[in-house]
Amino acid sequence: MATLTQAPPVAPPPAPEKRPPRRRGRWTPYLLLLPGLLWLLVFFALPVIYQASTSVQTGSLEQGYEVTWHFATYWEALSEYWPQFVRSVLYAASATVLCLLLGYPLAYLIAFRAGRWRNLIMILVIAPFFTSFLIRTLAWKTILADGGPVVDALNALHVLDVTAWLGWTAGDRVLATPLAVVCGLTYNFLPFMILPLYTSLERIDPRLHEAANDLYAKPSTTFRRVTFPLSMPGVVSGTLLTFIPASGDYINSDLLGSTDTRMVGNVIQSQFLRILDYPTAAALSFILMAAILAIVTLYIRKSGTEDLV
């Protein structure tokens, strides 16, 4: 009787060698960043370097300018135009505070109470951007014109008497006064405050408000302990987006103010385009940038939002 013999087991084929994964697309992030880096290099870094070179030059427009490392231009510019620097910071800070006081309630309304009207209110906030900055500022000359309804109402309420005592108006008029300049700055930069505030408030989970109500917290306590702390990134972003351009603005002071309300932006514009003193204008620009950078850095550190730097 034949016996069945079991065939020897067949050895499995050798496993293919594992090759290290190819690093595909490792240059993709750098290629995506390249257009932005080139843009910053051409339109920011190179102009800044050129301005730095201009600020230490001496000469005249007829004879030409030459780099002589004349750093005394900075001290001369600061010692002569420091009132305009102080005025610029004061006006910009005042407009920023007013934008925060006006913009926070509106952003809160849009985020939590607007309902189906949210999109319409947002369109109304953004709508001024469809009009030229210059035209919007010129419109305020009509709004604040002498003998107009706004000035008559302020006179009837004796508001101008108080502001005249503070030195912000002339007592019987608003145009060509610091109040007019601050009003123009506030109006033109108010959307820059509202949009970051709305974005920050919209991210707050409504269940946190419900939890605060369940713990018998008053609405004021809920706002102070929950809403406002969670909206601080929007507050910081909005104040920076308002203060930085407002401090260098010169349109509002030129159209709504007078020679007594000139800001440092007016001086820089005059030095570049009228007096043609390019080294002084460049030095003033660098001093303004350094001052804003110092103020912003201190503000961010004090507000506890260093991650925004």
Instruction: Using pLDDT thresholds of 50, 70 and 90, give the confidence band for residue 309.
Output: very low
Question: Which residues have CB under 8 Å from 89's CB, separation 6+?
Answer: 247, 291, 295
Expressed as residue numbers, the domain containing 193 is: 65-308
* In the predicted structure, residue 284 carries a pLDDT above the cut 50: yes
Predicted pLDDT at 60: 83
**Would 252 be classed as within a structural domain?**
yes
* In the predicted structure, residue 11 carries a pLDDT above the cut 80: no
CATH of the domain at 154: 1.10.3720.10
269 — alpha (psi -120 to 50), left (phi > 0) or beta? alpha
d(CA 219, CA 209): 9
**Would 18 be classed as within a structural domain?**
no
d(CA 244, CA 254): 18
**Would 23 be classed as within a structural domain?**
no
**Would 14 be classed as within a structural domain?**
no
**Would 46 be classed as within a structural domain?**
no
**Would 55 be classed as within a structural domain?**
no
Percentage of the chain modeled with pLDDT above 70: 90
Cβ burial of 147 (10 Å; 0-12, 13-18, 19+) is exposed
- Rg of the chain over CA atoms, in angstroms? 30
**Would 22 be classed as within a structural domain?**
no
The number of distinct structural domains making up the chain is 1
Amino acid at 225: R
Mean pLDDT over residues 239-268, rounded?
A: 93
Instruction: Using pLDDT thresholds of 50, 70 and 90, give the confidence band for residue 206.
Output: confident
**Would 3 be classed as within a structural domain?**
no
